[in-house]
Chain A
């Protein structure tokens, strides 16, 4: 079946540095990808919708200058957490539907970010 990968699976960084997380669709093209974050014992919260070739759409309350999203190709979206702080420590997950209008989504395995 279709697979979505994320890299890295875990990252530890110092406060103030920037971290880039990649999300790739391995055997299908994704014009849209979604980025979620999950705090311990809480729901996955949608952060933004990544659109190939255009600007991402951010959910209310998500700082677009803090969480930079780039969807430069039909198989790759990146999320950059800029000037990371300990409160940004979380589990980040991406997903991608294989085509428009489908109710199917493929999820990546997630990236655990720890900011010291």
Chain B
């Protein structure tokens, strides 16, 4: 079945450092890919998405490119802030966006 693998955390960075969180997937067909973020005490929020190969999703300085040849959707940000500290989930959907398959989540800790 479909699955998502993402790097284990926590990822600990200093403010203004470069961030990469790796995500790879296994799926039949042509899934849509998502990154969700969960801030402490809040529900998951959609951070960005890409619906077809070579699409780049971006939001709040984060970006990820749908790479079909490597089945990857790595999350990047050029300069992280303390406020980016959260848990990041990579996910895919093969069924019209609504049924999601998630990775295990990666906790990001950014220190001043």
Show the binding face of A for B, using Cβ within 8 Å.
4, 32, 34, 36, 41-46, 49, 93, 95, 97, 101-110
* Residues on the B chain within 8 Å of A95, using CB: 43-44
Tell me whether A44 and B89 are in contact (CB under 8 A). Answer: yes
The reply on B104 being an interface residue by CB < 8 A is: yes
Tell me whether B4 and A103 are in contact (CB under 8 A). Answer: no
Tell me whether A105 and B100 are in contact (CB under 8 A). Answer: yes
Q: Which of B4, B44, B45 has the most CB of A within 10 A?
A: B44
Give the contacts of B92-112 with A (CB-CB under 8 A): 93, 96-105
For the complex, what is the distance from the CA of A44 to the CA of B99, rounded to whole Å?
Answer: 12
Show the binding face of B for A, using Cβ within 8 Å.
4, 8, 32, 34, 36, 38, 41-46, 49, 51, 89, 93, 96-105
* Residues on the A chain within 8 Å of B96, using CB: 101
**With A41-B104, A43-B4, A103-B49 known to touch, is A93 a contact of B44 (CB < 8 Å)?**
yes
Tell me whether B99 and A49 are in contact (CB under 8 A). Answer: yes
19 contacts between A and B (CB under 8 A): A4-B43, A34-B98, A36-B102, A41-B8, A43-B103, A44-B105, A46-B99, A49-B99, A93-B43, A97-B98, A101-B97, A103-B49, A103-B93, A104-B46, A107-B36, A107-B38, A108-B43, A109-B41, A110-B43
- Which chain A residue has the least Cβ–Cβ distance from B99? A46
A-B contact count (CB 8 A): 57
Give which listed residue, B8, B46, B89, B98, contacts A32 with CB less than 8 A: B98
* Residues on the A chain within 8 Å of B99, using CB: 34, 46, 49
For the complex, what is the distance from the CA of A102 to the CA of B104, rounded to whole Å?
Answer: 24
Known pairs A43-B102, A103-B93, A107-B43; list 14 more (Cβ under 8 Å): A34-B99, A36-B102, A41-B8, A42-B104, A43-B103, A43-B105, A45-B102, A46-B99, A93-B43, A93-B44, A97-B97, A101-B97, A102-B97, A107-B38
For the complex, what is the distance from the CA of A106 to the CA of B44, rounded to whole Å?
Answer: 7
* Residues on the B chain within 8 Å of A44, using CB: 89, 100, 102, 105
